[in-house]
Chain A
């Protein structure tokens, strides 16, 4: 039992008991945390407490309720800083999620600087959210999107990386951890290579923040983006971290109240970053819930939790390899708690449907990374992802179900 190895450092049963979904659905084997994590009781309570006790709009009211809502909301910027090792709460903008954060950087920062013949560099393993926003502005500006290839192991071909960088490269945008293959990319090296040429770099940390140590004191990324809902927080919450000098260069892409300093019929003067991006009433309860999710994460030792989830993934991979008709997709040296595989002659949806019938939640398809799977000539994979509420019992159940699949399918 893997849990015994971690018993002292990580009380799994006690952690799992903090997630109410497993009390309501004790039979659930949830292996889809890379899509969205489950939520601890404290986060659910923070949201309902806000609506029941503290509901008011922020930044506008002089009454106590509004002041308290504002204070709670702004406090979360400090909590995010503490989680990712950033120094300045004003480097943190709240968004709807990773996708919106990337769109803001593409539309509000890069587009105005992008000219005909320029290039934007991403990798072949990016989620559609870190591909389409760049692809679209490149098309609008007659710039080109360049792609760092991925080798058979599912790792970036970094020896080719420097060849892609030249005076035309205006942006690099790379995932920290692949949402399909689980590969942990060497972002420190990538950031340093981009910075040698003064090229701004965005890191898509949707699969890492909250699960894997991310420290902006060590990582010199110019933009870091992630979602609240993948790190035990509420749906519809996200973060854009923007390093000092770049924060002043991000224009709003979405206009309205709350983001302005002065409005006349002919002209508007906007507030500074991050408030210039937060037009309209934001998801206040959600952001407060995100703060509570950070409190939850900070009770844990992220090095230990990342190792635990990865060890569960290793155990699952080892046992998958013993099943004759299953093929793992990629074999990266450095990986997190995500694995993709397929069953020969049985489509991924049929596999996931069979597992669903056994109360095992996995994802099937191209995982919003269609070009990656196209390049690997695989139409769809089954993806399993592990988190701190999973146990080796979950691995046993998933492996037993996959073992039973052949009998079901071929009998």
Chain B
């Protein structure tokens, strides 16, 4: 019998930690000026490193790679949480339009916030509010307590996404943001314009989100067999739902406010890890943080190198990988439900 023990959890997480370190090194190495791993390590180890290599590694690439890891972790963990909360392996903040709601909140502040004296620092709270509001709407409209509501859930997500995209374009056009690259960032998602002033939010919300939800992991396992059943096993379902909702909204809000709409990370990583490690949320939540971080760092390295001399938005890479996977999952899900 295979049972999750602290030892097994620890060894799985250590393995993923090694993968993440590898991804970070790859992220630091990738780019137009080729740097070897040895060069990168010597810069990282040396407190007084100077010169062009140190500049590239410490000033240009390291902040971006770290931010990519934080955003990837936040998106993957919130994916797991949405899937657990909605009891649906297809739920993902991007697919359900929740990220779109966050982006809309952010762009609202950017476009009309200055009239109220709001600067860029107001973007994360606004994105969080947009996120929370969209999730609440999703609950109200799709009736997520009903069984087999996948179709209505996904349709609601499609409509939310279309509405959010249209509203973002509208607001950005009004505010004259279309000329800058920022509209592109908000709609497709990119790590190219690092906002150091809000990066701290992403780290703080990720730590807070993990801290609040890892203790609920066992309750989330129980919820997979129905909310009522979980309550009969001692879970305070309302409290669990509130905490998960707020934690995932904080993480998505923070991630979207620095990197825009990067899609499918919350779908790809939890799915892969569920295949590898099983569905137990005690392992799946921290594993998704590590896996999501590694995945987005690698995707960003690809985005920076795949076209010679030009950079792709990382959201394009994740969507190219995630779109087909989503369709495959949807087909499998329907086969299972209808069989």
* A is bound by B: no
